[in-house]
Amino acid sequence: MSNTLSVSSFNLILYSAQQRGAEYNVLCEKVGLTADMLQDPDARLPIRKVQELWKEAVEMTGDEHLALHIGESINTVAVGILAYVMMHCPTLGKALEKLCQYQDIVCDGSKTEFYIKDDLAYVTLTQLSEDMLYPQYAFESELSIYNEAVKGMLGRALPLHAVHFNYPAYSPHLSEYQRIFKTEQVLFESDITGIVFDKKYLDYPILNANPNLFPLFDKHAQSILSSLKQDNSIKEKVKKEILDGLKGEEPSLFNISRNLGIGLRSLQMKLKEEGVTFQQLLDDIRKNLAVQHLQETHLSTTDIAYLLGYSEPSVFFRSFKKWTGYTPNVYRKNPKMVA
């Protein structure tokens, strides 16, 4: 199962890189994406693609602390429904509970946990995705965003006891970490990655929280999370890519493998393990769409052939007869003949 990040969060990284001099189109091109692929904020991208973006963005901006700077580069409300849920919680403690509950809406490649120990509150991050080749970028950007989000919710910076990272420092200078998190205690090669603060702040109220809006946003977040967890199989991911690609041209497995951040042969093997081939998925989708479109009288068979990605109507005719035993025109006159 491939871990993913929301496109809206991917765009936040792009925006932060732009703020530091990176060219948007060049950066997209380097990671094999186009602006059109990033228009749907509810779409998802594989973690490996996000890791490629971080690497290229850091190199292009020359900012080794780009991930650390993302929190102060963006409006944390732009994180989406998760931010709205947290903003309308009654207290910081409740907001952090909701952060842990709904984090997968943003990214399911890491796990956020919140607990209390010895009068201290801990918000920690754990890597889940094997595709997270540069965990420092993911962890530092997440903690940076959390830190700024809490500041916005409380109307003041959260006094931290310490910030922990479970990997070695990749810079000899800790001053930027100390500036961002406003604490002298920045600890690398620790047992955890996360922030630590006095538990009394958990009872602090969220400024401008609206108790009437909270259940609405909470219900919406539950719905999104449920839909994400329904079916995350490779087969379903490929089917979605096929549907997105049927716009006047035939989707190719090569392009789909690139979009998913999975090698071509590896993708073929994963589909085989799920008992299906790319051609079977493509044919099934085209057949189902063809049957639907042929019931829409305003569409000509030439129009339908184009919508299904065929270069020539004659190829569509042959394919439809192969699937159903009838030509499209015969079926259109008697649609009940095809199950």
**Between the CA of residue 275 and those of 184, 281, 285, 287, what are the distances in Å?**
55, 11, 16, 19
Q: What distance in Å separates the CA atoms of residue 229 and residue 290, rounded to the nearest whole number?
A: 29
The domains found in the chain, sorted by start residue, are 4-227 (3.90.1520), 234-337 (1.10.10.60)
Residues 6+ apart with CB under 8 A from 272: none
Question: Hey, what are 55's tokens?
Answer: 């690497």
Give residue 239's pLDDT.
86
Give residue 246's pLDDT.
77
Give residue 167's pLDDT.
94
Q: How far apart are the first and last CA of the chain?
A: 33
The alpha carbon of 66 is separated from its chain's Cα centroid by a whole number of angstroms, namely 19
Written as one string, the DSSP assignment of 275-331 is: T--HHHHHHHHHHHHHHHHTT-TTS-HHHHHHHTT-SSHHHHHHHHHHHHSS-HHHH
Residues 6+ apart with CB under 8 A from 220: 81
Q: Helices marked H in 24-154 — which ranges?
A: 24-30, 47-61, 66-73, 81-87, 92-102, 135-154
Give residue 78's pLDDT.
66
Q: What distance in Å separates the CA atoms of residue 195 and residue 212, rounded to the nearest whole number?
A: 30
pTM for the whole structure: 0.70
Q: What distance in Å separates the CA atoms of residue 37 and residue 33, rounded to the nearest whole number?
A: 6
Q: What are phi and psi of 44, to 5 degrees?
A: -125, 150
Nearest 5°: the CA angle 29, 133, 275 is 85
Residues 6+ apart with CB under 8 A from 101: 225
Encode pLDDT of 16-64 as tens digits: 999 999 999 999 999 988 888 888 877 888 898 999 999 999 999 999 9
Give residue 1's pLDDT.
44
Give residue 227's pLDDT.
77
Q: What distance in Å separates the CA atoms of residue 70 and residue 142, rounded to the nearest whole number?
A: 9
Q: Any idea how long the chain is?
A: 339
SS3 label, residue 182: coil
In b/e form, how buried is each residue of 172-209, taking b as 16+ CB within 10 angstroms?
eeeeebeebbebeebbbeeebbbbbbeeebbebebeeb
Q: What distance in Å separates the CA atoms of residue 83 and residue 218, rounded to the nearest whole number?
A: 11
Amino acid at 133: L
- Give every residue of the chain whose pLDDT is below 70, as ranges: 1-2, 78, 230-232, 247-248, 335-339
